[in-house]
Amino acid sequence: MIDAKKVYKSLVYLSLNIIKNEKLRFEIFDKANFRNDFVAQINNMLTLEKDFDVNMDDVQLAQTFAKAIVKITESKQRFEKNDKTIDEIYAEYSSFLSETIKQFEVGRNELVNETLKITEEDILYSAIMNEAIKSKYKDLEKTQKAEEEKNKQAEEAAKKQQQEPKKNNQNTNQGQGFFGGFGGPQYQGQGIGEMPIPPSRDPRFYPYNAKPQWMPITKKVIAIIVVIASIILLINNIYMMTIKITFPEAYWREFLFNNDPKIPANFNDEAFWKKVLNLKLQTELGAGKVVNIHFDLQNIGFNSVFNFILGILPAIYISFDAFRKPRSIKEKYRMNFFPVMFVVFFWGMSLFPVISVLTVGNIQDFFKNNPFLRAGADGQTLFATGTKLNFDGLWDYLSNDYGHKFSTVSIFSIMSLVFISLSLVAAVTILVLNPKLDRQKQMRANAEFQKAMMYMSQGQSYQMDQSLYDNPDEVIIKNPSKFTIWWNKTFKKKKDSDKK
C-alpha to C-alpha distance for 363 and 270, rounded to whole angstroms: 30
Q: What is the pLDDT of residue 173?
A: 45
Per-residue pLDDT, 175: 42
In this model, does residue 181 exceed pLDDT 50? no
Last residue of one domain, picked from the residues 432, 453, 480: 432
Same-domain check for residues 364 and 421: yes
pLDDT given at position 11: 94
Rounded to the nearest integer, the mean pLDDT of the chain is 74
Residue 485 — very low, low, confident or very high, per pLDDT cuts 50/70/90? low
Give a yes or no: residue 105 inside a domain.
Answer: yes
| Residue 463 lies in domain | 199-206+439-491
Residue 9 has pLDDT above 60, yes or no: yes
pLDDT band at 267; cut points 50, 70, 90: very low
Q: Which residue has the higher pLDDT, 187 or 108?
A: 108
Residue 38 predicted with pLDDT over 90: yes
* The pLDDT of residue 389: 55
pLDDT tens profile 400-420: 888 888 888 889 889 988 988
Q: 452 and 325, same structural domain?
A: no
Q: Other C-beta atoms within 10 Å of 129: how many?
A: 17
Asked whether residue 378 falls in the same domain as residue 303, the answer is yes
Residues 229, 373 within the same domain: yes
Q: Are residues 416 and 443 in the same domain?
A: no
Q: How many CB atoms lie within 10 A of CB 493?
A: 10
Alpha-carbon gap, residue 423 to 417, rounded angstroms: 10
Query: How far apart, in whole angstroms, are the C-alpha atoms of residue 170 and residue 399?
Result: 103
454 and 353, same domain (yes or no): no
* Last residue in a domain, options 108, 133, 158: 133
Same domain? For 8 and 87 the reply is yes
pLDDT at 18 over 60: yes
Helix (H, G, I), strand (E, B) or coil at 295: strand
Q: How confident is the model at residue 146 (pLDDT cuts 50, 70, 90)?
A: confident
Residues 233 and 381 in one domain: yes
Residue % of the chain over a pLDDT of 90: 17
Give the pLDDT of residue 257. Answer: 53
Is 452 a domain residue? yes
In the prediction, which pLDDT does 233 show?
A: 84
Q: Does some domain include residue 38? A: yes
Q: What is the DSSP letter of 244?
A: E
Q: How confident is the model at residue 379, as a pLDDT?
A: 43
pLDDT band at 155 (very low <50, low <70, confident <90, very high): low
**Same domain flag for 378 and 305:** yes
Domain-terminating residue out of 402, 432, 462:
432
pLDDT given for residue 187 in this prediction: 36
The answer on pLDDT for 158 being more than 70 is no
Burial class (CB in 10 A: 0-12, 13-18, 19+), 352: exposed
Task: Compare 278 and 324 and report the one with higher pLDDT.
Answer: 324
**Banded model confidence at residue 49, pLDDT cuts 50, 70, 90:** very high
User: Do 29 and 55 share a domain, yes or no?
Assistant: yes
Kindly indicate the confidence band of residue 283, based on its pLDDT and cuts at 50, 70 and 90. Answer: very low
pLDDT given for residue 318 in this prediction: 83
Residue 261: exposed, middle, or buried by beta-carbon count in 10 A (0-12, 13-18, 19+)?
A: exposed
Maximum average pLDDT range among 81-85, 199-203, 364-368:
81-85
| pLDDT at residue 487 in the model | 60
* Window from 228-237, 259-268, 376-385, 483-492 with minimum mean pLDDT: 376-385
Query: Looking at residues 15-29, what average pLDDT do you find?
Result: 92
Higher pLDDT, 23 or 390: 23
pLDDT at 34: 93
pLDDT at 143: 80
Residue 344 and residue 458 in one domain: no
Among 347-356, 373-382, 418-427, which stretch is predicted with the lowest mean pLDDT? 373-382
**pLDDT bucket at 254, cuts 50 / 70 / 90:** low
How many domains is the chain partitioned into structurally?
3
Are the CB atoms for 89 and 48 separated by under 8 Å?
A: yes
Q: Is 205 helix (H, G, I), strand (E, B) or coil?
A: strand
273 domain-assigned:
no
Comparison of pLDDT for 20 and 236, the residue scoring more: 20
Answer whether residue 183 is part of any domain. no
| Mean predicted confidence (pLDDT) in 132-142 | 86
Q: Does residue 112 lie in a domain region?
A: yes
Q: Please say if the pLDDT value at position 477 is more than 60.
A: no
Max avg pLDDT among 105-119, 251-265, 379-393: 105-119
List Cα–Cα distances, 239 to 51, 243, 286, 368, in angstroms.
Answer: 69, 7, 29, 21
Same-domain pairing of 416 and 458: no
Q: What is the mean pLDDT of residues 486-495?
A: 58
In this prediction, residue 280 carries a pLDDT of 32
Task: Note whether residue 174 is domain-resident.
Answer: no
User: What is the per-residue pLDDT across 319-356, written as a single tens digit (0 to 9) for each?
Assistant: 888 888 877 788 888 888 888 888 888 887 777 778 87
Is 476 part of any domain? Answer: yes
